Each structure stands twice: as C-alpha cells, then as structure tokens.
Chain A
C-alpha cells in the first residue's frame, strides 16, 4: 500500500525519518523531497546529522522510524545491496577503493556477471569506454588505483556507481581533497549527469559550491531539517544563518598588516620521510612580526612536513632562525618542548593525534607542553592541579568552549570545541611565532568565525603567524601573504588582494610562472 502523498516526481522522498544513538538524537523527524533530474545540496555543521541521514539512505543504518520513497515507491533499505538495487550510488568522502586493483577490477567488484571474471571484465571495459565518453570521466581502465591522483580516484568511484546503473548519486564532501581545477571538472561532470536525467545529492559544508552547483538546497541543524530553498533565491549569508541559527560573519574583518622585524627566517629547509623520500625540497621564506603567511596547496605537498620541521617533530636539514637566533633542526634541541621554550607555539594539523590525548580530561590537555610552567607547580615535587583546573576554566570562558567543564574528556567535546582548547593552550602562552595547521578542519561555522578572529587578534598584537590550510577561502581571507606549495616546493608568493583563485589554482597544480602565459 502506497502512503498518502507519495509522488513519482521525486527521486527521493523521506518522511519523518528519526534515528537515535543512545541518548543522542542524530536525526529528528526529517522530511525531504528531491526532485528528479536536479542537483540537491545538503548543508549543515558537523554533527548536524547529514552523514547519518545519508547512511540511512545507503543502508548502513536503519531509521528508528519514518519512510523512504524512491521514485514514489515506498522502499526498505536494510543494507547496501538494497540501496544499490534501488538505484542509489554513493561516493564516500574516504574512497572505498582497493588500492592495488586496477580501475576495471574495482568497478567490477560486487557487480560481477558470473562466477568467472573474464566476461565481467570485458563487459565493464566496454561500458566504461561509453561512460567516459558521455560524461568526461576519462580514466585508464587498466591503471592501478594507487598510481592515480585523488581526482581520478574519485572518478572511479563515480564510474562504480554508474556501472551499477545508479540513477541517484550521493557525494559526501567530494571536494575536500581536490584542487580547484579538479573540483570544477567534478562539477561539470555532475551537471552532465543531471542533464542526462540523473539526480545528484551533494553534501558539503562549502557554501560557495552549493551556490555554484545546486538547484535546491536543504539545511540541517542539530539533527533537524531547518528548511529547503531554491538556490537561485537564496544567498550564502542566508544559508549560513540557517545552518548556525544566528547571523554569521563570513568575511574576516581585519585591518591591513603592519609588518615589523623578521621573526622567522627559513633557508633551504629539507625533510625526508621514513623511506628516505624527500618531501620538503628546499623551502625558504621569512615571516615578520604582525603578519600572517598563508601556505596554500593540495594536501600532501609538503605542508605537513614544513609544520613538523618547524615544530621540532620531524628532523630536517637547512637553516632556521627565530629572532636572529639559529634553532637546531635535528638532534638535541630539535623537539617540541625546546621549540615552545624558544617561543614557537604549534597548533598541529591533526589535533586528535598530535594536539590532544582524547581520553584525557580537558584540564590535563591544557597542561601538555607547558606542564612545567611555574604557575602549575605547588612545590618541587607536586603539580598544583587546582590551579591548572582554574586556569582551564578561565581559558574555557575566554574561548567560549562548550560545555565549560575542565574535567570532561577531550573526546566528549565537538571538533570545534576541541580545536578551541588547543588554540587556547597555544595562544595564551604569548608566543612570538604561531604555527597553525588546518585551524578549522572539522570545525563548525560558528567556531570558525571565532578561531579566525583569535588568529587576527594575535597578529594585531605583533606576533608572526604561519597558517597552513587546504581551504583556499580561509587562506585568502586570513593571510597577508600567500605562498603556494606543490611537490615539496614553494611555487610562488602572492598578495591575496591582487591574486585570484585561478592563479592560485594553477600554482597548486604545479604550473609555474614560466608556463603561465601558455596556460592562460
């Protein structure tokens, strides 16, 4: 029996979907209708319930209540197999590819024609040729996945879904790992799919992508669906406000920089990884007091190694000086503690692995790196834990950490609040130089605004800041100068006021100044 109101114009219609994990209500009475042949955006902060909703659609979770209609028909999706049969394809944020298989083998896996492979493989080869011609999805079917760029790997994921005859394609944060050019290509592919009558659901937290690509957009906040609007009738400001529930400043307000003396000077810095491969291939730059140097680039082009070498975590060769004094790059004195003593604070890229101990309480995490500070000592033998807890409480108030409970374990805070704890610990020590990697990765919009303000405030106090981020918007709005890294080298320095995304995108793809005229 079909329910009242089922409508075949909609590729997907969800009615009253609820899902709880213990006491946490991840999805509350969600209603959404996605018209066929459209690109539908779903945005929301971290923990708003977007991923839970999509996992229900792909059969990873079962909803506690509610109904799913596919093309107007009520459909039960108890497992991934049913989702595939219903014509749903999913491109996960972390690709589900077998790294040492060929493209063809990955496409065929789970969709084989019979017990023997030969027939399946030759059929897949034919279908892939047709699909790649139709949708600009060129990939060499015999290439091994680990040899492909992430952009190409993503195309394989899309091809996998199309090979299984998906009519509805769900993409979860698809552009996080792509260069701007690759992202543009992806959006062209998605628009091509839509024009062929397929339905695309795009989950992202990037408002710009929503505005450029989608026909309609649904906004989620704290497990509920706040509303669905036509993209052409909305604005980024309105969507941000719907997501957060209050007005949000999208642009960072900052006065022009007034750079002072050189704080950090880096000369020919090189880092090799554990396999002896050079990851940082001779990087040189300066940062002055009262200036933010932004490092842009696709993840994995040496930015992490740069931060680790400066932060004393990885051994390096070359020369670095802080306020004129040379710091050791390997051996004694090249460690995080010595660096902090020298006046370099470090907010690492991966806060859960390097910034915090997730099972430890917030007040213990606040002590790390500064546990020998005089104000935390009761006497020669014992630490003054009460003072430390009081200090944590004060920092939590200043940085608006929620909930403001010093005894709560780090893992029980949201991503944004975890980051605030780390930033509070590092900034409050009044460093001369702040290294900060991916300051807003996995952080919701409200907290992003706050962290950005803190970084600018520190700059205005005359501190030097090295900002590494894969978010080009973040780099452009915060930095006073932008350096673009590619393959372990700095491709060029730009003024964020005068450069544009296209120019930075070319540098991020490794196209240097010499060949710029040609590429233009």
Chain B
C-alpha cells in the first residue's frame, strides 16, 4: 500500500468516524448519568430524516441541522419520561423507540416527498460543504506532513471538526465542572446525590437532553454532510457500533475518540477490500470487516483488554429508600 492510498483510507476513516463519535459521546453523557440508551440508533435516524427534509424544504442546512437536533431531542425526551419519570425498563424503552424511528422516518419522508421514503438529493446551501483549513494548499509541498494535513486533516465539513472539539470539551465538563461531578455521581450512586440535596431527576433529564442534541448532530451529519439526503435505515447500525465503542472506551471521552477512529478505520477498510487483500495477501470477506467492531467489543466485555466496569447505577431507575 502506498502513502497516497493510506492517506485516502485515513481521510475516509475520519469521515466515517464522525457520526460514531457524536453518537458515542451522546451515549457517554446518558450512561454516565445512569440511563442506558440503546436508542442512539433511532435518535440518529430521526435526526437524519428531519434534517434532510427541512434542509430540502427551506434550502438551508442550518435550519435542517436545528430540525434534526429537535427531532432527536423529542425522542430523548420520550426515553427520559419512560425511564426517569415512570421508572420503566431502559432497554425496552430504547428498543421501542428504535422501532418507532425505523418506521416513522420512512412514513414521513414518503408522505412529504413520495419518493419511496427517501428525501430528494440535497445540493448547494442545503448541504454542508467541505472546508479547507488555512495554509492547506501552501503546505501541500512539505514532505509527508504536508499531504497528511491537506488530504486527511483539512477538507472536511464543519461538523467533523465540531465532533473532534466535543471530545476535549466533554472531558473538561466531566472532570472539571460541578455539573460533571454531579453527572458522574448520579450514575454511580443516585442516593448520594439525593441526600446531598440535588435533584436526581433533573440531573438525569439534563444528561438525556445532551444525548439528544449530540445524536441530532450525528444524524444531521449523516444526511447533510456525509451523504446528500435521507434514505431508509441510512444509519445502518451506527448507533449500536457507537455503543460498542463506548464500552470499548470504558465510558471515557478521550478513549472514545480512539475507539471511534478505530471502528471508523474498519468501516473505511470495508469500503476498500482491494487494499485489504493487497496487504494481507488473502481475500477477506467484507462482512468480516463489518463485524470487527463487535468482535473487539465482545473481547473487551470478556475481560481480555482490561476490565470494563459500567457506571454502577446504570439501568436502575432511582427509587428513594426509607
């Protein structure tokens, strides 16, 4: 494999890792607060449909992005009401919302556009275009690093850089702010938060709302940046891969970045079976590459790569004792 092919692969990796990263960090906020969210997939799908539809109808990708975040927030709110207010089973609520999203997105898109559940292709202002970072052209001539900067780092839609910036931001919020301390505490021992006079319900809803916003960004990126429009089931299990990445990263933000980049790299490889064959000298079936993230996650869960301890109060509705 030559350097140019490698750069191409890395470029694709970054593009494909972005929705994973948004969704993974979304799950991180929710699960750190003790609310398991298997419904990342459904939220992304809703956001993808809403953002593509609104972007097409208004001609503005920004209005589309806003609509995507609102749609995802709505789903997050439903999950919150089911699992926080009514103390329902978080897995069942998440699965149910995924089913709802899977059906209703196609229904709405079909109703609006009558194109078999797709939105019409987006173009121009209705889509995020790529940004060229400063000096990308000028530095292209610098050996090794120049092409790396030009090909891989530069030339992505804005949301890619937002996703990358969300990683240190999340780290800072989690470990350096009052909100972060309380968020981590409520996922470990809500009784400690409650007896300290802080509202468990309020904190958890705040966390679930952040999850909604980040999933909205993930879905909007899928439909208005990575691709040009919404299509049936277009998220293709990325919500689940993001959950796998979250476990792989042991619920830590910086590790989440590396996990998503790794899983994004696998997805990029799956698009280039010819490169894989050239490197390992054996024809590797694409489904095998697709399955790699899950295989790795199972290995992590089995304890081969250190121990993954989920937040202790995760999945348990909080009921006051005494």
List the interface of chain A (C-beta within 8 A of B).
51, 55, 58, 60, 79-81, 83-84, 90, 92, 94, 96-101, 105-106, 108-112, 114-118, 120, 160
Chain B 178-222 interface residues, beta-carbon cutoff 8 Å to A:
178-182, 184-185, 188-189, 191-198
Contact across chains for B197 and A110 when beta carbons are under 8 A apart = yes
Contact across chains for B195 and A92 when beta carbons are under 8 A apart = yes
Residue of A84, A90, A109, A111 with most chain B CB atoms under a 10 A cut-off: A109
Residues from chain A with Cβ under 8 Å of B178 in the complex: 112, 114-117, 120
Residues from chain B with Cβ under 8 Å of A79 in the complex: 197
- Given known contacts A60-B320, A81-B197, is B191 in contact with A117 (CB within 8 Å)? no
Residues from chain B with Cβ under 8 Å of A92 in the complex: 195
Least CB separation from B185: chain A residue = A98
CA distance A109 to B184 in the complex (A): 10
Cβ of A200 to closest chain B Cβ, rounded Å: 18
Contact across chains for A109 and B188 when beta carbons are under 8 A apart = no
Cβ of B320 to closest chain A Cβ, rounded Å: 7
Contact across chains for B176 and A106 when beta carbons are under 8 A apart = no
- Given known contacts A51-B322, A116-B177, A117-B181, is B196 in contact with A111 (CB within 8 Å)? yes
CA distance A360 to B270 in the complex (A): 56
Q: Does B312 contact A (CB under 8 A)?
A: yes
Q: B193 contacts which of A55, A99, A109, A120 (Cβ < 8 Å)?
A: A109
Residues from chain B with Cβ under 8 Å of A98 in the complex: 184-185, 188-189, 192
- Contact code string B253-290 (vs A, CB < 8 Å = 1, else 0): 00000000000000000000000000000000000000
* 7 tightest Cβ-Cβ pairs between the two chains A and B: A110-B196, A81-B197, A96-B192, A112-B178, A80-B197, A96-B195, A98-B188
Least CB separation from A82: chain B residue = B197
Q: B188 contacts which of A99, A111, A114, A160 (Cβ < 8 Å)?
A: A99
Interface size bucket, B side?
Answer: 20 to 34
Residues from chain B with Cβ under 8 Å of A81 in the complex: 197
**Total number of residue pairs linking A and B with CB closer than 8 Å:** 73
Q: B177 contacts which of A51, A111, A115 (Cβ < 8 Å)?
A: A115
Cβ of A58 to closest chain B Cβ, rounded Å: 8
Chain B 35-79 interface residues, beta-carbon cutoff 8 Å to A:
none
- Given known contacts A99-B188, A99-B312, A109-B185, is B177 in contact with A117 (CB within 8 Å)? yes
Contact across chains for A100 and B188 when beta carbons are under 8 A apart = yes
Contact across chains for B185 and A101 when beta carbons are under 8 A apart = yes
CA distance A106 to B192 in the complex (A): 9
Cβ of A174 to closest chain B Cβ, rounded Å: 16
Residues from chain B with Cβ under 8 Å of A83 in the complex: 197
Contact across chains for A105 and B181 when beta carbons are under 8 A apart = yes
CA distance A118 to B178 in the complex (A): 9
Cβ of A264 to closest chain B Cβ, rounded Å: 38
Residues from chain B with Cβ under 8 Å of A160 in the complex: 196
Residues from chain B with Cβ under 8 Å of A116 in the complex: 176-178
Least CB separation from A81: chain B residue = B197
24 contacts across the A-B interface (CB closer than 8 A) = A51-B322, A60-B320, A80-B195, A80-B197, A83-B197, A84-B197, A94-B321, A96-B191, A96-B192, A96-B195, A100-B188, A100-B312, A105-B181, A106-B192, A109-B182, A109-B198, A110-B193, A110-B197, A112-B178, A114-B178, A115-B177, A116-B177, A117-B176, A118-B176
- Contact code string B291-322 (vs A, CB < 8 Å = 1, else 0): 00000000000000000000010000000111
Cβ of B182 to closest chain A Cβ, rounded Å: 7
Least CB separation from B186: chain A residue = A98
Cβ of A320 to closest chain B Cβ, rounded Å: 33
Contact across chains for A80 and B194 when beta carbons are under 8 A apart = yes
CA distance A30 to B215 in the complex (A): 53
Cβ of B190 to closest chain A Cβ, rounded Å: 10
CA distance A106 to B196 in the complex (A): 10
- Contact code string B132-176 (vs A, CB < 8 Å = 1, else 0): 000000000000000000000000000000000000000000011
- Given known contacts A99-B312, A118-B176, is B322 in contact with A55 (CB within 8 Å)? yes
Least CB separation from A60: chain B residue = B322
CA distance A101 to B184 in the complex (A): 9
CA distance A122 to B127 in the complex (A): 48
Residues from chain A with Cβ under 8 Å of B322 in the complex: 51, 55, 60
Cβ of A214 to closest chain B Cβ, rounded Å: 23
Contact across chains for A96 and B181 when beta carbons are under 8 A apart = no
Contact across chains for B179 and A96 when beta carbons are under 8 A apart = no
CA distance A111 to B133 in the complex (A): 44
Least CB separation from B188: chain A residue = A98
CA distance A79 to B195 in the complex (A): 9
Cβ of A52 to closest chain B Cβ, rounded Å: 8
CA distance A512 to B182 in the complex (A): 43
Known: A80-B197, A84-B197, A100-B312. 8 other contacts (CB 8 A): A83-B197, A96-B195, A101-B184, A109-B192, A109-B196, A115-B179, A117-B175, A118-B176
Residues from chain A with Cβ under 8 Å of B197 in the complex: 79-81, 83-84, 110
Residues from chain A with Cβ under 8 Å of B312 in the complex: 99-100
CA distance A115 to B181 in the complex (A): 10
CA distance A99 to B175 in the complex (A): 16
Residues from chain B with Cβ under 8 Å of A51 in the complex: 322
Least CB separation from B313: chain A residue = A98
Residues from chain B with Cβ under 8 Å of A112 in the complex: 178, 181
Least CB separation from A114: chain B residue = B178
Contact across chains for A96 and B189 when beta carbons are under 8 A apart = yes
Cβ of A356 to closest chain B Cβ, rounded Å: 21
Contact across chains for B196 and A97 when beta carbons are under 8 A apart = no
CA distance A99 to B189 in the complex (A): 8
CA distance A108 to B191 in the complex (A): 15
Cβ of A284 to closest chain B Cβ, rounded Å: 34
Least CB separation from A101: chain B residue = B185
Residues from chain B with Cβ under 8 Å of A110 in the complex: 182, 193, 196-198
Residues from chain A with Cβ under 8 Å of B189 in the complex: 96-99
Least CB separation from A51: chain B residue = B322
Contact across chains for B177 and A80 when beta carbons are under 8 A apart = no
Residues from chain B with Cβ under 8 Å of A94 in the complex: 321
Cβ of B200 to closest chain A Cβ, rounded Å: 11
Residues from chain A with Cβ under 8 Å of B177 in the complex: 115-117
Cβ of B179 to closest chain A Cβ, rounded Å: 7
Residues from chain B with Cβ under 8 Å of A120 in the complex: 178
Residues from chain A with Cβ under 8 Å of B194 in the complex: 80, 96
Least CB separation from B320: chain A residue = A60
Residue of B177, B189, B321 with most chain A CB atoms under a 10 A cut-off: B189
CA distance A110 to B194 in the complex (A): 9
CA distance A51 to B322 in the complex (A): 8
Residues from chain A with Cβ under 8 Å of B192 in the complex: 96-98, 106, 109
Contact across chains for B181 and A109 when beta carbons are under 8 A apart = yes
CA distance A84 to B194 in the complex (A): 12
CA distance A110 to B312 in the complex (A): 19
Cβ of B196 to closest chain A Cβ, rounded Å: 3
CA distance A90 to B196 in the complex (A): 10
Least CB separation from B321: chain A residue = A94
Chain B 19-44 interface residues, beta-carbon cutoff 8 Å to A:
none
CA distance A97 to B180 in the complex (A): 16
CA distance A513 to B176 in the complex (A): 49
Residues from chain A with Cβ under 8 Å of B191 in the complex: 96
CA distance A117 to B197 in the complex (A): 18
CA distance A58 to B321 in the complex (A): 13
Residues from chain A with Cβ under 8 Å of B320 in the complex: 60
Contact across chains for B195 and A90 when beta carbons are under 8 A apart = yes
CA distance A292 to B295 in the complex (A): 56
CA distance A416 to B185 in the complex (A): 36
Cβ of B205 to closest chain A Cβ, rounded Å: 18
CA distance A297 to B62 in the complex (A): 67
Residue of B182, B191, B192 with most chain A CB atoms under a 10 A cut-off: B192
